[in-house]
Every structure is written in C-alpha cells, then in structure tokens.
Amino acid sequence: MPTKFVLMIVLGVLSAIAPGLSAFSNATFTLHESFQEGTSYSVESSVRLQGRLSLPGQATGATRDIPLRGEGRIRYTERVLAPLEKGAVMRTVRLYQQVEMQRRAGETVQEATLRPGVRRLVLLAQQGKRAPFSPDGPLTWSELDLIRTDPFCPILMAGLLPQKAVAVGDKWPVTSAAVRELTDLEVIHEGGLAVELLGPTPVQQKQLLRLKLSGVVRGSNADGQHVHHLDGTIYYDPQWPGITYLSLKGTHHLLNEKGQPAGTIEGYFTLNRAAARDLPALLRDNALADLNLQPNQENTLLLFEDAELGLRFLYPRSWRVGMVRGRQVTIDHAQGAGILLTLESADKMPTPEGYYQEVIGFLRQRQARWQKLHDPQPRGETPSAPIRFGIRAQWDKGEEHLEYAMIRQTEGGVIAAARLPSNQAEVLLPEVERIFRSIQVTRRIP
C-alpha cells in the first residue's frame, strides 16, 4: 500500500497542476488554415507499408497470396497561386527536392521518381480531382500517378480543422474532400473520420495543440472497394497558424467484387510541415513570370519514352498506353478509339502507295465498304513529317474513320494505324494528328 508520504507527494503534484488543467478545460481555441495567394510552406513526408494481396490461382476457386511492401520519402516547397474559374479551381506551384518511392509485389520491384527536368509542378484541384502538370515539360504516366497519391495540403489541412473555436474534448468530422485525400477513395459509401482536440502541449519550446484523428471509412475507386481504419496524431501551431505535424497508422482492406477480403495492407505515414522562410529560386516571381501556369492542350500532354524500344511520343490524357510488345505499341481511348504503332527499320518501310494498297487489301479481305477521304500526302514541311491518308470504312459492327501515317526518320520508321468511331472522329482526329506529329525514333531500328 502507498505510504502517507507518497500520498502527500501525489496530492501535492495534482494540486500544483490542477489550476492549469482547469484553465485549459475552460478555454477555447480557434483552429483554422487559410491558403491565400502567396502562402508558402515546406513539406517532408514518409510512408511505410506492408501486407498481402490475394489473387486468383490456376485451380478453380483457388487463390494465391502476394506479399506487398513499400516505402517512400518526399520533400518539397509549395506556393499557393491565384485560383481559377472564379475560385472553383485551387492552384499551387510546387518544387520537389526529393522524391523516392519503392514498391515490391512478390518478386517484382517498382521504383518511381520525378525526372530532374520536371520537378516543378502546377497542381490543380476541383471537386476532389487533381490535375498536375509541369510548365517545364511533359510528365510520364508513372510520374502523374506518383503525384496523384501525394496529399494536397490546401484540401487536407483545411478539411482536418473545424475552422471555428473549439474546447478541449470537442470533436468534429473531417470533410469528405480531406477523407478522399487520405484514402484515395473516389466515392465514400459509409463511415467517416473525426478529429478531437486533446489540448495544449509543449513541443520544442513551442506551445502546440494536440489533436487525435480516428475512424473507419468504406468506399470505392477505379481499383474496387476498400475499407480504411485510421488512427493518427496532429499538432497545430496557433502562432503560425497551421498544422505542422501529422502521423497516421492505417489498415487498408481490399475487397473483391463480392465484398469479401482480397488483401490487407498496414501502413505508417508521417508529414512535417513549416512555413517557407525563403522560397527556392524556381518558385519566385521572376522565375514564374514568363511561364504559362494555366493548363492547356500542350502542357498537359503525357510522355511515352522507351529507350530499349527506341520510341518516344506525346499523347493527351484521355488516351492510355496499352500493350507494349515486340516492336508494337497500342494507345487506347475510353470512347472506343485505338492506335497501333509499329516500328520498322528504315530499309523495310513501305512506300506510301504500297502501304495504301496493303490497307485496301485488308478491307477487301474483311468485306468492308470504304471511301477514300484523302490520298497519301505529307502533313508538314520537314522530311520526317508524317505521310497520311484517311478512309471511311463500313463493317458489320458499324462505320469507322481509319487514319494511317508513315513516319520516316534517320534511325528508322513508324507505321501508324488509328481506328476512330465515326461519331467521335471530328473530336478525336486532332488528337490523333498530335500524336502522329510527336513520334520520334530514338535509336537505330535493325
């Protein structure tokens, strides 16, 4: 049993701290963040995850488990720009100093980063969707996907805070937009996250406010259905004012089409944030003055580049690179259009008339009816300009616009064939032409 002396010490300590506890319990604190034009801050974040994914096995009804592991570290400085479309589109410019991501699924290892030439990005956010682009050059699909999974601070931080006065012990819901930033869900079906104010706490000679985040969310995205269990700690600096620290421990359950577990991933995420005292040179006014910081058809193009294949081209974001096999690459569009690119050595490239007759022979073999839209002719003044011709074809499945191109270059050539639904041809043909014009053969094709 405790001695009387020990009890006196305990009671003395409690009486000494009680006035402070009482004061905090009665006090209110206004927690908010404002991301006005010109606001700037630096961010450092890290993530670690591990788990398993169940995939269908060869035998009927059987499954096989694939171990998953990943880690990453990101560091950047971000500056808030003026919003677009009368405030409907939030906009920032961000400069990455470090981007390192590694994922391992079974024996397959994937590493992702940003090329040095495109580490300055403009990020746009509207209704939960983000669209980054670099004013310095086109991004690849893997770079776009890497940025997509990185939380967007103006949405996340504002959505974690109540934007009003609260007392110790008060709780409030996290906004749906912030939940989507933390979980990568597109649609939230049930559940949610909540934040509770635990109270002031001293951290490195500063008086910060400590908050607790927790909750369970079920939702879906393009990869299927998911359930997220999240618990975390937040530190808020009332003098800044803003969130300076966020740590999360999460369990992510992947569900199959029947709503049954198909994998579990456990992860740890930490984010440190501070006001940017000195902006990097690439984010200052003089460095941004001559750049187009608004999205257009050119600066949002994506880059495909395969050094081993020897092919490089640009394509709009409504298209997706599909199969890459041997010397062929397919590019697909959600509206049913498709492009096939075939690399050839310079001495095996057909003549324009030879290619045209080859296409006509194919149409006859398929018993199609066709109409020539334009003869094979160069589209451009340079020797490497595409030589193109177009045909309107009618099949059993309907009518299509077929556009063909031959691109001859020093290292080799490319034969291109595009298939467009007739009702989409007027819209998609300029995009096909842009892809054809961008094609480059980057190594000698034997």
6 pLDDT higher than 60? no
Tell which phi-psi region holds residue 327, choosing left (phi > 0), alpha (psi between -120 and 50) or beta: alpha
Residue 211 has pLDDT above 60, yes or no: yes
Task: Quote the pLDDT of residue 152.
Answer: 95
* 376/253: higher pLDDT: 253
Burial classification of residue 223, based on how many CB atoms lie within 10 Å of its CB (0-12 exposed, 13-18 middle, 19 or more buried): exposed
Amino acid 36 reads Q
Q: If residue 275 lies in a helix (H) or strand (E), which one and from where to where?
A: strand 261-275
| DSSP strand pairing (120-126 vs 108-112) | unpaired
Q: Residue 342 half-sphere exposure, CB side, CA atoms within 13 Å?
A: 13
- pLDDT on residue 340: 98
At residue 374, the pLDDT reads 84
User: Coil, strand, or helix at residue 311?
Assistant: strand
Q: Does the pLDDT value for residue 319 go beyond 90?
A: yes
pLDDT recorded at residue 1 = 42
Digit-coded pLDDT (tens) for 81-97: 999 988 889 999 999 99
Q: pLDDT value at position 57?
A: 64
Q: Nearest CA to 178 among 164, 157, 162?
A: 157
Query: β-strand 440-441 against 387-395: which pairing, if any?
Result: unpaired
In DSSP terms, which residues pair with 329 in a beta bridge? 324, 341
Q: For residue 86, what is the DSSP state?
A: T
Report whether pLDDT(134) > 60.
yes
Tell me the pLDDT tens digit for each residue of 378-397. Answer: 776 676 789 999 999 998 87
The CA–CA distances, whole Å, from 380 to 256, 339, 341, 388 equal 50, 21, 20, 10
What integer is the mean pLDDT of 47-53? Answer: 95
3-state secondary structure of 154: helix
In the chain, where the domains are located:
30-288, 302-441
Beta bridge partners of 199: 210
CATH class, range 30-288? mainly beta
**For the chain, what is the mean pLDDT?**
91
What is the fold of 302-441?
Answer: Protein Transport Mog1p; Chain A (3.40.1000)
pLDDT band of residue 123 (cuts 50, 70, 90) is very high
pLDDT in tens, 136-187: 999 999 999 999 888 999 999 999 999 889 999 999 999 999 999 999 999 9
Q: How confident is the model at residue 25 (pLDDT cuts 50, 70, 90)?
A: low
Contact between residue 275 and residue 240 where contact means Cβ atoms under 8 Å apart: yes
CA 281, CA 254: separation in Å to the nearest integer? Answer: 43
- In contact, 213 and 234? CB cutoff 8 Å: yes
Tokens of 19: 């006035």
**For residue 48, which of 267, 272, 271, 229 has the smallest C-alpha distance?**
267
Distance CA 411, CA 446 (A): 9
What is the distance between the alpha carbons of residues 170 and 437, in angstroms, rounded to a whole number? Answer: 59
